[in-house]
Amino acid sequence: MRRHPRNVIYASSLAPGHSAYRKEDDDLSPDAHAAQAASTGPRPDPQMTSEDLLKVVIDSLEDDKAEDIVTIDLRGRSEMGDFMVIASGRSTRQVAAIAEKLADRLKQDHGILSKMEGKETADWVLIDTGDVIVHVFRPEVRDFYQLEKMWLPSGSATRSAAAG
């Protein structure tokens, strides 16, 4: 269990050369930096565990009516993260909305900037939050790739209680 996800970019810690880094921030005094950081939203909680992050992810997916939510525990099996979450949306529009809302909630509520791929076509969107990797699929695409079969021993899927 890592307290600081390794692949997460925190909004408050961007360095020169990063795509979201702004040159004008270099010209600010230390007091102005502190005021700006305080006004940009919450800082990442250093005490947030991967289990806490998983709960935030699951709650967001359930709030947005994602279907067939499956959680896969990767601890001890992969270095890419502690958990993988797989969910479905009924259409490309819903898949994109679920992914976008999750990324927005993580940023606004917890100060975590996540990486997202696949939102343009929204057949399969991957959201990398660091310790929790989230896949949101259209049902047909999920059936085709069958990630659950690849990562789970038979019969060991953990489905969310609210999942359909």
Average confidence score pLDDT of the chain: 77
Whole-number Å distance between alpha carbons of 47 and 121 = 35
Q: What is the pLDDT of residue 48?
A: 77
The packing angle between helices 50-63 and 92-110, to 10°, is 140
Provide the whole-model pTM.
0.69
Q: What is the pLDDT of residue 148?
A: 87
Mean pLDDT of 127-148: 93
For residue 99 the two structure tokens come to 């992914």
Going from the N-terminus, what domains does the chain have, and what CATH number goes with each?
7-164 (3.30.460.10)
Element (H, E) at 19: none
For 79-113, the pLDDT digits (tens) are: 888 899 999 999 999 999 999 999 999 999 888 88
* Maximum Cα–Cα distance across the chain: 57
For 6-59, the pLDDT digits (tens) are: 444 444 444 445 444 444 445 555 555 455 554 455 556 667 788 889 999 999
